[in-house]
Structure 1
Amino acid sequence: MPTSSTVKIAGASALAAAMLAAVSRPRAVGRLVRGIVTRAAGGPVYTPLPPPQKVKVALCQLHVTADKEQNLKTARKAIEDAAAAGAKLVVLPEMFNCPYSNDSFPTYAEDIEGGASGSVAALSAAAAAARVTLVAGSIPERCQGKLYNTCCVFDTSGKLLAKHRKVHLFDIDIPGKITFKESLTLSPGPGPTVVDTEAGRLGIGICYDIRFPELAQIYAARGCQVLIYPGAFNMTTGPVHWELLAKARAVDNQVFVLTCSPARNPDSSYQAWGHSTAVGPFAEVLATTEHSPATVTAELDYSQLPERRAAMPLRQQKRHDLYLLLDKTAP
């Protein structure tokens, strides 16, 4: 553990370096200061990104029923089939193991941190067996008396790398169309989730999270190559906003965006729009589907990211003298 004098010396050295850079290389000042702040905050330091690679992804648009065990079997089979087709990154839908309803969330909720989650155990085993990076949609999570809408991310050995609890709760009221308030049962998550995986650096959001560009901007600033949104847009907002928002988040931040929905179930009280979609950094739709059960596959070529950013250098052209995104959760 460093002593206080050590911290003072390190701080003085960093300040001296910053002053020297300010005189000799003004453009280096921003990077240097951000590095100092990051280290001082004591947060996680992200590993350097690997060389550009191509990654095959599979978005599994699943038929979801009231039978949890059947839903898990459906998910496992989809993961196996995706891996057999060459996918290295597999994504499941929001609330893939239960009906999407406030009545269902408490009934189907599982204690992930307490190790009493049958869904997590099944998904871990499936990811390990298929040797894929798995972004496991979301399930209702129970923790310390609260319920969350939670996405688990597993590596190719089945290790749980991260959990993302939905940050923005779906509370809307469109007269004559749809009213839904997740806040009646669910609590909001603490913040952004960035995960380094064999398939790249991922930024995770869940459904309504995609409507908030600031979250995507934070992910882009932290070096995410892909933003992944398991979601269950409805029949009112889905047709007009689902693809639009995926394209917007992709082109604004020059990253890949993946959205994965449940298939539409005529027997469900909540009708999902479907249309799971992969979008490229130029807002181009790489692959999509309709509303029936299906697996959408696409190849993500990460070499496109620096190419797009060089051709249209948005990051360098931002007017930081006029506006600034403040990341209060910065590592």
Structure 2
Amino acid sequence: MRAALLQMTGGIDPAANAVTLVEAIGRAADGGAAMLFTPEMSGLLDRDRARAAASIVAEDDDPVLAAVRDAAARAGLWVSLGSLALRRPDGRYANRGFVIDGSGTIRARYDKLHLFDVDLPTGESWRESAAYAPGDAALVVDTPLGRLGLSICYDLRFADLYRVLADAGAEMLAIPAAFTRPTGAAHWEVLMRARAIETGSFVLAAAQVGEHADGRATWGHSLAVDPWGRVLADMGDAPGLALVDIDRAPVADARARIPVPAHRRAIPAVTHQ
């Protein structure tokens, strides 16, 4: 099966972002892909929360989601829509990813579990929890590529999440992101390869890239990694679409060669002497 990764420079205009997504769906289908993977915050990337508020609406009212569902149905293509900023009934926001099938039906929803609250040495400060509510459940979904475990960006740093997903049968891990450049340069590839190796799973990580209208800069380098930790695709630092052929056989092979789940033991309580 063939997967497509979209690397995009998302901005503050949802309509423009929707055009990028719809065009990518068409290109992915024309390239023979069974499923397209898009970055975190595919519909709106705006660090100015006062300005962004007018564009963050409830799921049923979101024009980007509607456009992607319609385009997926017309192309007959599955889409892992990395995430959208959506308004919850309680007034807080959700950083929510979707899996949409080839009829345009939503097969799964995942709200980002781990929120990015950090102060970087560069002076950048991020407080995702100031506006967003965390999710409360891990999620796997069956797709044409295999069973897919969902996550978003900062989730990458929490290896226990991916163990849970692999234990639930995930063969593929979606890790859409909008990584900062300092953390991307230091940690992006090594963590992606680690998650693939630890779980014996494919990693498909579509990312935001470049200089954005809200003033931020993101790392890019969307990756596809196989279960042995080999990088199948690295999209570098420019927007575009990559096509990657996926053969599920390496999942069983990697897990048989190093059968970590069979060797796992309950960790005893830590003692201090």
Same fold per superposition (TM over 0.5): yes
Please tell me whether the aligned partners of residues 102 and 182 of structure 1 are also in contact (alpha carbons under 8 angstroms).
no
The counterpart of 2:132, out of the listed 156, 165, 186, is 186
Answer yes or no: is 1:213 the counterpart of 2:159: yes
Equivalent position of 1:132 in the other structure? 77
Please tell me whether the aligned partners of residues 101 and 107 of structure 2 are also in contact (alpha carbons under 8 angstroms).
yes
Question: Unmatched 5+ residue regions in structure 2?
Answer: none
Partners of 1:317 and 1:146 lie apart in 2 by 42
Answer yes or no: is 1:110 the counterpart of 2:57: yes
Partners of 2:178 and 2:168 lie apart in 1 by 26
Partners of 2:252 and 2:67 lie apart in 1 by 37
- What amino acid maps onto 2:204 in structure 1? L
Please tell me whether the aligned partners of residues 140 and 150 of structure 1 are also in contact (alpha carbons under 8 angstroms).
yes
The counterpart of 2:183, out of the listed 234, 237, 253, is 237
Equivalent position of 1:60 in the other structure? 6
Partners of 1:323 and 1:165 lie apart in 2 by 32
Equivalent position of 1:273 in the other structure? 219
Structure 1 runs, 4 residues or longer, greater than 3 Å off: none
The CA deviation string for residues 206-249 of structure 1, in whole angstroms up to 9 with x for no partner, is: 10011100110110000001010110100110011111111011
Partners of 1:184 and 1:97 lie apart in 2 by 20
How has the CA–CA distance of structure 1 residues 101 and 266 changed in structure 2, closer, same or farther, with 3 Å as cutoff?
closer
Q: Please state whether the residue corresponding to 1:283 is helix, strand or coil.
A: coil
What displacement does 1:191 show? 1.7
Answer yes or no: is 1:168 the counterpart of 2:120: no
Equivalent position of 2:243 in the other structure? 297
Partners of 1:63 and 1:81 lie apart in 2 by 17
Q: Please state whether the residue corresponding to 1:79 is helix, strand or coil.
A: helix
Let me know the Cα RMSD of the aligned residues: 1.6
- What amino acid maps onto 1:175 in structure 2? P
What displacement does 1:102 show? 4.9
Partners of 1:178 and 1:227 lie apart in 2 by 28
Please tell me whether the aligned partners of residues 106 and 140 of structure 1 are also in contact (alpha carbons under 8 angstroms).
no
Q: TM-score, normalised by structure 2?
A: 0.93
Identity of aligned residues (%): 34
Question: Unmatched 5+ residue regions in structure 1?
Answer: 1-54, 325-331
- What amino acid maps onto 1:198 in structure 2? P
Please tell me whether the aligned partners of residues 11 and 212 of structure 2 are also in contact (alpha carbons under 8 angstroms).
no
Answer yes or no: is 1:148 the counterpart of 2:94: yes
What displacement does 1:105 show? 4.5
- What amino acid maps onto 1:124 in structure 2? R
User: Aligned pairs, how many?
Assistant: 267
The CA deviation string for residues 143-166 of structure 1, in whole angstroms up to 9 with x for no partner, is: 111211111110111101111111
What displacement does 1:319 show? 2.6
Please tell me whether the aligned partners of residues 102 and 184 of structure 1 are also in contact (alpha carbons under 8 angstroms).
no
Larger Rg belongs to: 1
Please tell me whether the aligned partners of residues 105 and 185 of structure 1 are also in contact (alpha carbons under 8 angstroms).
no
Equivalent position of 1:283 in the other structure? 229
Greater relative contact order: 1 or 2 (C-alpha under 8 angstroms, separation 6 or more)? 2
- What amino acid maps onto 1:117 in structure 2? D
Equivalent position of 2:45 in the other structure? 99
Please tell me whether the aligned partners of residues 93 and 230 of structure 1 are also in contact (alpha carbons under 8 angstroms).
yes
